[in-house]
Every structure is written in structure tokens, then in C-alpha cells.
């Protein structure tokens, strides 16, 4: 297992307890306390920074390619086509997923949504973010009306 495998594993395992708490114990005081601060997304962000610091040349190359709009996508392909780029992208995705999932969970709590609405929002928020957001916005809007 190299540093990139380890970062993938740690990023995934970091958000697991937070996601599990929102999914299984959404109304519990400990879940509310756990989700109050930034701890739920700090791990993936720190891992992203560590990966970027370990492979700064990838960001330099991407920045150069980004100067010409015709090369931006090719530069992104070059960056993501590396183990460092893929691991960093994963940390980025996971951090975004847990932040948006926390927003949906909190919105469900604030609206007093039915448990199944909260479960669907939180489950799909991490598993299939676009589906989770679409479900959440549709279901919570209906529940609030």
C-alpha cells in the first residue's frame, strides 16, 4: 500500500462515522454535536493538501495548461491521470459530498422532515450526490409545503 492508497482509504474512512451518525442516528444529540464543527470535513481537506504538497509539479503543469482555455481539459486529464491526481480528486469529492450531505441533514432537521426523507437525503448525499440533492430538494420542499 503506497501513500495514495493510504490517502484514499483514510479519506473514505474519515467521513464514514459522520455519515453513519447522520444516517442511523439523525436526531441524536451526539450527532448534532458531532456535526456542529468542521471536524467532519477537515480530514479530507488535510489529505488533499498533503497530496498536493507531495506532487506540486502536477498543479504547476495544470496552472500552465489553464492559461490557454483550449488546454484546460487536457491539463485536467494529465493531472487526474496520475495516482496523486486521482487520490487528490477523491479527497476533494469526499469533502464536497460530506459538506453537502451535512447541509441536507441539517435542513431535514430544521424542517422536521420525516425520517425516510432524511435517510434518503443522507444516503444518496454521499453515495450519489446529484441524485441525493435532487431527491432532497424535491422531498423537503414537498414536506415543507
Across residues 49-56, what is the average pLDDT? 86
State the pTM of this model: 0.85
What would the pLDDT profile of 77-127 be if each residue is shown by its tens digit? 887 888 888 999 999 999 999 999 999 999 999 999 999 999 999 999 999
Buried b vs exposed e over 34-60: b needs ≥16 C-beta within 10 Å? bbeeeebbebbbebbeebbeebeebee
Amino acid at each position: 500500500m503506497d501513500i495514495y492508497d493510504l490517502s484514499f482509504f483514510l479519506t473514505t474512512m474519515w467521513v464514514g462515522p459522520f455519515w453513519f451518525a447522520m444516517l442511523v442516528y439523525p436526531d441524536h444529540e451526539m450527532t448534532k454535536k458531532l456535526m456542529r464543527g468542521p471536524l467532519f470535513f477537515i480530514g479530507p481537506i488535510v489529505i488533499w493538501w498533503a497530496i498536493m504538497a507531495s506532487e506540486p509539479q502536477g498543479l504547476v503543469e495544470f496552472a500552465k495548461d489553464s492559461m490557454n482555455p483550449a488546454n484546460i481539459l487536457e491539463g485536467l486529464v494529465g493531472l487526474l491521470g496520475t495516482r496523486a491526481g486521482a487520490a487528490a480528486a477523491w479527497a476533494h469529492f469526499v469533502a464536497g459530498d460530506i459538506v453537502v450531505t451535512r447541509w441536507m441533514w441539517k435542513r431535514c432537521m430544521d424542517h422536521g422532515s420525516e425520517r425516510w426523507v432524511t435517510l434518503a437525503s443522507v444516503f444518496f448525499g454521499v453515495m450519489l450526490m446529484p441524485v441525493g440533492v435532487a431527491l432532497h430538494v424535491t422531498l423537503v420542499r414537498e414536506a415543507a409545503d
